[in-house]
Chain A
Amino acid sequence: MRWFFSFLCAALLGLSSALSSSGSRLLVVLEDVAEKGSYGGFFGDLEARGFHLAFETPKSPSLALLKFGELAYDHLLLLPTKAKGLGPALTATQLLEFMKKEGNILLALSGDHGTPTAVQSLLLELDIHLPSDRNSLVVDHFNYDGESAKDKHDVVLVPFPKVVRTDVKDYFGGEGVIAVPRAVGQTLGNESPLLAPILRAPSTAYSYNPKDESEIVEDPFAVGAQLNLVSAMQAHNSARLTILGSAEMLQDAWFEAKASLNGKAITTANRDFVAKVSGWTFKELGVLKIGKFVHYLDEGVSKKVNTSSAIPENNPSIYRIKNDVTFQVPISEYVSTHWTPYTPPSGDNIQLEFSMLSPFHRLNLSPLSQTANATLFGTTFKTPDQHGIFNFRVDYKRPFLTNIDEKRQVTVRHFAHDEWPRSWQISGAWVWIAGIWVTVGAWVGFIALWLYSAPTEKVGGKKTQ
């Protein structure tokens, strides 16, 4: 019994020291459990980062991604298998169901094995396209490894990816050269905003089937930077799917392999790159957390009544039009082990929308202060001259960052009748005020004259008649 308790304690301790932001249970599906030796370095790195690895084969009867409708594992690593099908537990529907429950998938393909139909239909559903013939590889006659692929040119050497845009955070950058042996290239559909390339093939690469006997490749599947060696899909619920074109990248043999690029001896930096890709996929990187919205009436300058500006009442449910309102929200980013203050990349801004159907304000939030775990973003604005039901909304969706879309509803009322300025406070009205009182005064004078002049006039009038 004692061993059981100590095991339980160890398990709980392991759970509590999990380093991914979304859980540490990682299922690895591979052809044969004995095969895991060749990925020893990668699995060792994952375990060192706090993941609890479980190994299964597709044929295993106990394999299930969901248990009682809940996730049985938080993350899934699918390594290539020889079989065409992946079995009843790993259909495309079940993989999608796994992602709907916010499970993350790292999918490794291989040009040697061919892609299982379940994976193919999953990718097709996500608008990611693989070459139609099962044995296509990415080859490059300029950036190949001279040591291992002198003749076939199917080990592509690429530098670390650079950020495509300056206002996107760089999660995959680094120093060195990555070896991508016998990769299956993917192309991404243009329509889906959920897809993003991580590593593109060099401009001289193309997709090629080595079984094809012909000398000249006619009409290749894709060429150049159209081919993605590693690509990512992040769903609306921030579940992540990363497609790794080459499973061999994860193997010990390529982690720090000696290679030569155009006659120059180099050491591949796969270990670093793979750690970044798996860290991103398993939610160790690029995870944002939004804290509690704080908004309050900022009566500092505009309003004459300023009784308790020291401690304003937070988050009132009602504002008036043309009120000065201050809005604040803390945002954190998870970096490998802990929550840190989030700083958006230069050129990018987190924005607040004050919206009723459409935004009446869309304002950049500026960082006000930092705590150990969060940056406090805030702004001050004047509510629009329109009453109704409004939302404070922070909608921040960026490549490689989990989605933020938070709203709080408030009512904006119009002026109460006693909130308008009095007439004499508006200098423009003075003439008309004078007009009224001149009329009233003249009327009083007229009444007095009328009454004063009454008897004589009446007598005179009667006399004349």
Chain B
Amino acid sequence: MPPKQRHAGSATTTSTTPSKPSTSSYVSTSAKSHSTSSTDASEIARSVWNKYLSKTPQRVKLLDSFMAFLVVVGALQFLYCCLVGNFPFNAFLSGFSATVGQFVLTASLRIQTNPDNKSEFESISAERAFADYVFGSLLLHFFCVNFIN
């Protein structure tokens, strides 16, 4: 982060490396407009957020929001376990691991379908990745429901 603050111009190039060069023009203009107050942390966060909103594909955003939801559900279950106790321990394990497993599977799907990683997953089409994901998720749900009895 500090290099970004010192050179607003170079910060645009570093931040845009993962994204596509076609969208870099918009980002650089927005960054330049706030270059005077770029030392403010909230400004940086806002710019990162704006870049995320503008440059991330719709499907990846959908994946990210689902993962964020899983994190919240998992954290709530863990919090409940800490507060109330783990009495039916298998229930805690299966409930918590359902969210964790789902999170891992979704993360895998995100890696495989992210357009940025296209070069690394030439042989795996997005449809194939999605089918794998559905199959793995159904398996996970089956195990969790079975384990909670």
* CB <8 Å contact, A446 and B62: yes
B98 touches A436 (CB 8 A): yes
Q: Roughly how many angstroms separate A244 CA and B60 CA in the complex, as a whole number?
A: 103
Q: A428, B88: Cβ atoms under 8 Å?
A: yes
A457 touches B58 (CB 8 A): yes
Q: Is the CB of B62 within 8 A of A429?
A: no
Asked if B58 contacts A439 (CB within 8 A), the reply is: no
Also in contact, A465 and B115, with CB within 8 A (given A429-B148, A440-B141, A442-B69): yes
Asked whether B57 is an interface residue with its Cβ less than 8 Å from the other chain, the reply is: yes
A429 touching B66 in the complex, CB below 8 Å, given contacts A450-B59, A464-B22, A465-B20? no
Question: Are B57 and A436 touching (Cβ within 8 A)?
Answer: no
User: Of A434, A453, A464, which one neighbours B59 at CB under 8 angstroms?
Assistant: A453
**A residues 187-234 touching B (CB-CB < 8 Å):** none
Let me know if B99 and A457 touch, CB within 8 A: no
**With A and B bound together, what is the CA distance between A431 and B73 in angstroms?**
11
Are A461 and B115 within 8 A (Cβ)? yes
Interface of B is mostly: helix
| Nearest chain A CB to B24 CB, angstrom units | 12
Nearest-neighbour CB distance to chain B for A128, whole angstroms, equals 62
B62 partner residues in chain A, CB cutoff 8 A: 446, 449-450, 453
A243 CB, nearest partner CB in chain B, Å: 65
- Residues in chain B near residue A428, CB distance under 8 A: 84-85, 87-88, 91
Any A CB within 8 A of the CB of B48: no
Q: Does A423 contact B (CB under 8 A)?
A: yes
Q: Is A422's CB within 8 Å of the partner chain B? A: yes
Flag A408-435 by CB within 8 Å of B: 1 or 0 each: 0000000000001011001011011111
- B38 contacts partner chain A, Cβ-Cβ < 8 Å: no
Please give the distance in Å from A365's CB to the nearest CB on chain B. 36
Does any Cβ of A come within 8 Å of B27's Cβ?
no
Task: Write the nearest CB–CB distance from B106 to chain A, whole angstroms.
Answer: 8
Which B residues touch A447, using CB under 8 A?
134
Interface string of B63-88 (1 = CB under 8 A from A): 00010011001101100100011011
Q: Contacts A436-B145, A453-B62 hold; do A443 and B95 have CB atoms under 8 A apart?
A: no
Partner of A443, one of B96, B102, B148, B149: B102
A423 touching B115, Cβ below 8 Å = no
Interface size class of A (residues with CB under 8 A): 20 to 34
Instruction: Mark B124-136 against chain A: 1 for CB-CB distance below 8 A, else 0.
Output: 0010001000100
> A286-323 interface mask toward B, CB cutoff 8 Å, 1 = contact, 0 = none?
00000000000000000000000000000000000000
CA distance A432 to B77 in the complex (A): 7
With A435-B99, A436-B145 as known contacts, state yes or no: A461 contacts B57, CB within 8 Å: yes
> Does any Cβ of A come within 8 Å of B23's Cβ?
yes
Asked if B5 lies at the interface with its beta carbon under 8 angstroms from chain A, I say no
Q: Tell me which of A422, A426, A450 contacts B130 (CB under 8 A).
A: A450
The proximity string for B residues 105-149 relative to A, scoring 1 for CB distances below 8 Å and 0 otherwise, is: 010000000010000000000100010001001000100110011
Q: Tell me, in angstroms, the Cα distance from A422 to B92 when the chains sit together.
A: 14
Neighbouring A residues of B92 by C-beta, 8 Å: 432
CB <8 Å contact, B73 and A426:
no
Closest to B60 in A: A457
Chain A residues with CB under 8 A of B149: 420, 422-423
Are B115's CB and A435's CB within 8 A?
no
Enumerate chain B interface residues (CB-CB to A < 8 A). Answer: 20, 22-23, 57-59, 62, 66, 69-70, 73-74, 76-77, 80, 84-85, 87-88, 90-92, 94-96, 98-99, 102, 106, 115, 126, 130, 134, 137, 141, 144-145, 148-149
11 A-B Cβ contacts within 8 A?
A423-B90, A426-B91, A429-B91, A431-B95, A435-B98, A439-B70, A440-B141, A450-B62, A461-B57, A464-B22, A465-B20
| Additional pairs, 11, CB under 8 Å, beyond known A429-B88, A439-B102 | A423-B91, A429-B91, A432-B77, A433-B91, A436-B95, A436-B145, A439-B73, A442-B66, A458-B126, A461-B57, A464-B20
* A interface, CB within 8 angstroms of B: 420, 422-423, 426, 428-429, 431-436, 438-440, 442-443, 446-447, 449-450, 453-454, 456-458, 460-461, 464-465
